[in-house]
A and B are shown apart, each in its own frame.
Chain A
């Protein structure tokens, strides 16, 4: 069973389109995240949700809108896609602070978004 699963794995789309990436975790974790990894491999946090509540919202254009219908799911919707949005987007989850935290995040396999 995949612990953190993202779909789709690859996404190629034209500028101006709207697209969504879905993420689900079956680990029972309370917190989920979206990270963006650019062409230089720099991994930067975008959002985090704890029990469906938005906790962290870094400086991200408001074209990006996360949605968490329940604590096992965190989706990312992107409006009016731009060339600069091309990157790999990783979903991750973690337990709240406690003994399980020392294992950090569990990442999904990533979604490679290419905007043409």
Chain B
């Protein structure tokens, strides 16, 4: 089974850096995704980590430590449009296929 934890809410200032943490416990880990979801919209892909270390993509970076069951999403130079929910999701390989199990999401509010 899966247990994925992330903070419910965070607030940060425009131009700042924010780190959103995610911890997970799983029996069949095959990778970790971060998705962004604006209110009333579908989740959209941000990043994927399967090996330990940091993946950088523009203003967004994602880190994974498989031994610690830990990941974080780092957002730099925050913009107002970054206000959204950020979903940590673990890819689990089940008996017949694969599935993403999502955390409850972190609602990020970016303020002036």
Contacts and interface: CB of A to CB of B under 8 A. Distances in A.
Interface residues of A, number: 25
Contacts of A55: 94, 96-97
Interface stretch (A14-22, A36-44, A60-68, A69-77): A36-44
29 contacts: A33-B99, A41-B104, A41-B105, A41-B107, A43-B43, A43-B87, A45-B99, A50-B96, A50-B97, A55-B94, A55-B96, A55-B97, A56-B94, A56-B99, A90-B43, A94-B98, A101-B98, A103-B48, A104-B33, A104-B35, A104-B45, A104-B48, A104-B100, A105-B100, A106-B45, A107-B43, A108-B42, A109-B41, A110-B41
Interface string B35-49: 101000111110010
Nearest to A108: B42
Contact of B104 (A42, A104, A109, A110): A42
Interface string B77-112: 000000001010101001011111110110100000
A108 B42 CA distance: 6
Interface in A67-108: 90, 94, 97, 101-108
Given A41-B104, A42-B104, A107-B42, A56 B48 contact: no
A42 B105 contact: yes
A41 B96 CA distance: 27
Contacts of B99: 33, 45, 48, 56
Nearest 6 pairs of A and B residues by beta carbon: A55-B97, A107-B42, A43-B102, A55-B96, A102-B48, A104-B33
Contacts of A25: none
B42 A45 contact: no
